[in-house]
């Protein structure tokens, strides 16, 4: 079998890039990781994603695919016989997984970003509460989807695990740098244990950044977000 | 075969609701249409979509599915042997269709909404230009996807046809009430012809509102949008 020509345009701290790398790991697909430098955009990136100019981009045999959740679905659908299925097998379960993945991107992560983006105490407190409320909601989703197993996807890491799990590094950085407790074992025991299982899984371990290293990157990135917010 | 118990919570002017009805028509599935009244939310809606409290919701055998594009994918995946496939068959083509459907929802339709939402001349002009630029971009996508056939999906109406086509009624209302030309035959000849074919198709005809009737509804809805924008 010919080796697939797979490239990821990405950056190691990006949670969205991590999604695509976990999906490729699940399918045991080798790829070249082309690191974009923070604050600049390569010509290949601009050419491959002219609409959003954002990472990640997966380039498969010269053809670019953009948007992390679309890339994860592409990897699952194009290599059905490799590794395990990422999307649930039943259409209803797939719809539920897609719904909550969208919720995480559209509602929950913006709140987590809000914790980092503001230094104003009341706004930070409100964003922190929204993040925790979201986790309590997702605790219920976890119970319904996992049915007593380790992951949202059952025995193995699936679509919703990838969608939420890629933010765990940033959650820990937020906890560390802002001195808050977000993923609380007493409030969300299922997710607390899930997070440990997710981070320790063989398809995740080598792409999940160390919290200290991510915290250093976070300081640079947050300074930029705060500067943008106040300009 | 037992009749499926299918309900759509919706409202006739909603482009997102139209998507789900077209998908059900493609699969020749009968359903009950439970009309939500503008400005109110039924208890069934609040119970079925507690996160967003928005239409459409498809209720299949008592189980709710939310978000129009997720519903369309669910219908396609759950009734694979009914009607024709809505999503393209090749994973790469599916990724491209999902990408542009997201673009339409996240970038293009907000601009169309901007044409309606503002009465300030310069802002209206800028929004109008963005809508037209988006259509020029989508003209290229149409050429690439349709490969000389009638629809983005080829010979039959597919995912991207549904994603964009559901906004055609609102595009016409915008043209009529704002006295602007958005879908211009000279600038986007492919899309101009596509729009005629789409609106005339048997799976679309009975759910595409008449422009005059939609224009009446638009006046009420836009007044509300403008009031919200200025409050």
Q: Which contiguous run of DSSP H or E holds residue A10? A: strand A6-10
Q: CB distance B77–A91 less than 8 Å?
A: yes
Residue A65 to residue B99, Cβ atoms within 8 A: yes
Residue A113 has pLDDT above 90, yes or no: no
Q: Which residues belong to CATH 1.20.1050.10 in chain B?
A: 91-230
Q: How confident is the model at residue B169 (pLDDT cuts 50, 70, 90)?
A: very high
Q: Shortest CB distance from A74 goes to which of B70, B91, B102?
A: B91
Q: Write out pLDDT tens, residues B57-91.
A: 999 999 999 999 999 999 999 999 999 999 999 99
Window from A40-44, B109-113, B132-136, B186-190 with minimum mean pLDDT? B109-113
Token digits of residue A81: 């016989």
Domain B91-230 has CATH 1.20.1050.10: yes
Check pLDDT > 80 for residue A189.
yes
Say what the pLDDT of residue A224 is.
80
Q: Give the chain A residue whose CA is nearest to the CA of B80.
A: A91
**Residue A225's closest CA among A98, A102, A75, A114?**
A114
Q: Which residues of A touch B66 (CB under 8 A)?
A: 99
Residue contact B95–A73, C-beta within 8 A: yes
Distance from C-alpha of A99 to C-alpha of B9, rounded to nearest angstrom: 17
- Angle, nearest 10°, between helix axes A68-78 and A15-26? 10
Cβ pair B146, B154 in contact under 8 A: yes
Does position B164 have pLDDT exceeding 70, yes or no?
A: yes
Tokens describing residue A13: 């701290």
Which one is predicted more confidently, A161 or A227? A161
Over range B176-184, report the average pLDDT. Answer: 89
A12-24 as b/e, with b when 16 or more CB fall inside 10 Å? ebbbbbbbbbbbb
Average pLDDT over residues B157-170: 97
- pLDDT tens-digit profile of B13-28? 999 999 999 999 999 9
Rounded to an integer, the average pLDDT of B189-212 is 97
How many Cα neighbours within 13 Å face the side chain of B42? 14
CATH 3.40.50.300 fits A6-78, yes or no: no
Look-up of token digits 């559901």: B166
Judged against a pLDDT cut of 80, whether residue A225 lies above it is answered with no
B99 touches chain A (CB under 8 A): yes
Cβ within 8 Å of B, A 113-142? 137
DSSP-assigned states of every residue in chain B: -PPP-EEEEE-TT-HHHHHHHHHHHHTT---EEEEPPTT---HHHHHH-TTT--S-EEEETTEEEESHHHHHHHHHHHTTTSSS-SS-SSHHHHHHHHHHHHHIIIIIHHHHHHHHH---HHHHHHHHHHHHHHHHHHHHHHHHHHTTSSBTTBSS--HHHHHHHTTHHHHHHHHHHHT---S-TTT-HHHHHHHHHHHHSHHHHTTS--HHHHHHHHHHHHHHHHHHHH-
Nearest CA in chain B to A92: B74
Residue A179 or residue A12, greater confidence: A12
CATH 3.40.30.10 domain residues, chain A: 6-78
Inter-chain contact A95–B65, Cβ cutoff 8 Å? Answer: yes
Task: Provide, as residue numbers in chain A, all residues whose Cβ is less than 8 Å from the Cβ of B104.
Answer: none
Asked whether residue B180 carries a pLDDT value surpassing 60, the answer given is yes
Spatial neighbors of B231 by CB under 8 A, at least 6 apart, are none
d(CA A227, CA A117): 9
- pLDDT band at residue B36 under the 50/70/90 scheme: very high
* The token pair that represents A220 in the structure block: 């640079």
| Mean pLDDT value across residues B110-129 | 86
- pLDDT band for A50, please (50, 70, 90 cuts): very high
The helix or strand, by DSSP H or E, that contains position A60, with its residue range, turns out to be strand A57-60
CB contact under 8 A, B99 and A66: yes
In B, minimum Cα distance to A70 occurs at B95
Task: Tell me how far CA of residue A166 lies from CA of A12, A68, A76, A115, B158, in angstroms.
Answer: 11, 11, 17, 17, 32
Q: Which helix (H) or strand (E) holds A95?
A: helix A91-103
- Both structure tokens of B93: 């083509």
B62 and chain A in contact, CB less than 8 A: no
pLDDT digits 0-9 by tens, A117-128: 777 888 888 889
Find tokens 């006046």 and name the residue: B219
Q: Which of A66, A74, A98 lies at the smallest CB-CB distance from B70?
A: A98
Return the pLDDT at B1: 42
Percent of chain B predicted with pLDDT > 90: 80
**How close is the nearest chain B Cα to the Cα of A74, in Å?**
6
CB–CB contacts below 8 A, A to B: 58
Which band of pLDDT confidence, cut at 50, 70 and 90, is reported for residue A1? very low
Return the structure tokens found at B32.
């009950």
Residue of A nearest to B49 (CA): A99
Chain B, nearest residue to A108 by Cα: B51
Distance from CA of A86 to the nearest CA of B (A): 14
Q: Is the model's pLDDT at A142 over the cut of 90?
A: yes
Q: Is B184 left (phi over 0), alpha (psi -120 to 50) or beta?
A: beta
| ipTM of this predicted structure | 0.95
Is A126 strand, coil or helix? helix
10 Å Cβ neighbour count for B207?
Answer: 19
Q: What is the pLDDT of residue A125?
A: 87
State residue A3's pLDDT score: 65
The set of long-range contacts for B40-43, using a CB threshold of 8 Å and a minimum separation of 24, is B42/B9
User: How confident is the model at residue B55, as a pLDDT?
Assistant: 97
Q: How many CB atoms neighbour CB B182 within 10 A?
A: 18
By C-alpha distance, the chain B residue nearest A72 is: B95
A2: pLDDT strictly greater than 60? no
Cα–Cα dist A110/A117, whole Å: 10
**DSSP element (H, E) containing A43:** helix A43-48
Q: What residues of A are in contact with residue B73 (Cβ under 8 Å)?
A: 94-95, 98
Q: Pairing between strand B57-60 and B32-35? A: unpaired
pLDDT band at B44 (very low <50, low <70, confident <90, very high): very high
Residue with tokens 């699940």: A26
| Percent of chain B clearing pLDDT 70 (strictly above) | 97
């Amino acid at each position: 079998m010919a080796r697939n020509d797979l490239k990821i345009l990405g950056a190691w701290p990006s949670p969205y890039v991590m999604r695509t790398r976990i999906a490729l790991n699940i399918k045991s697909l080798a790829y070249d990781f082309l690191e974009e430098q923070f604050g600049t955009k390569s010509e290949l990136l601009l050419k491959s994603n002219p609409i959003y100019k954002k990472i990640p981009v997966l380039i498969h045999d010269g053809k670019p695919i953009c948007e992390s959740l679309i890339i994860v679905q592409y990897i699952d659908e194009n290599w059905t016989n490799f590794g395990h299925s990422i999307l649930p097998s039943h259409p209803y379960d797939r719809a539920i997984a897609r719904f909550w993945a969208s919720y995480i991107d559209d509602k929950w992560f913006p709140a987590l970003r809000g914790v980092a983006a503001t230094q104003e105490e009341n706004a930070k407190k409100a964003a922190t509460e929204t993040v925790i409320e979201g986790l309590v909601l997702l605790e219920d989703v976890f119970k319904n989807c996992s049915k007593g197993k380790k992951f949202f996807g059952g025995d193995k890491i699936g679509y919703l695990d990838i969608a939420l799990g890629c933010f765990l590094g940033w959650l820990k950085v937020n906890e560390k740098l802002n001195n808050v407790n977000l993923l609380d074992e007493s409030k969300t025991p299922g997710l607390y244990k899930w997070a440990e299982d997710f981070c320790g899984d063989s398809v995740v371990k080598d792409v999940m950044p160390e919290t200290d290293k991510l915290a250093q990157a976070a300081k640079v990135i947050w300074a930029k977000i705060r500067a943008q917010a106040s300009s």
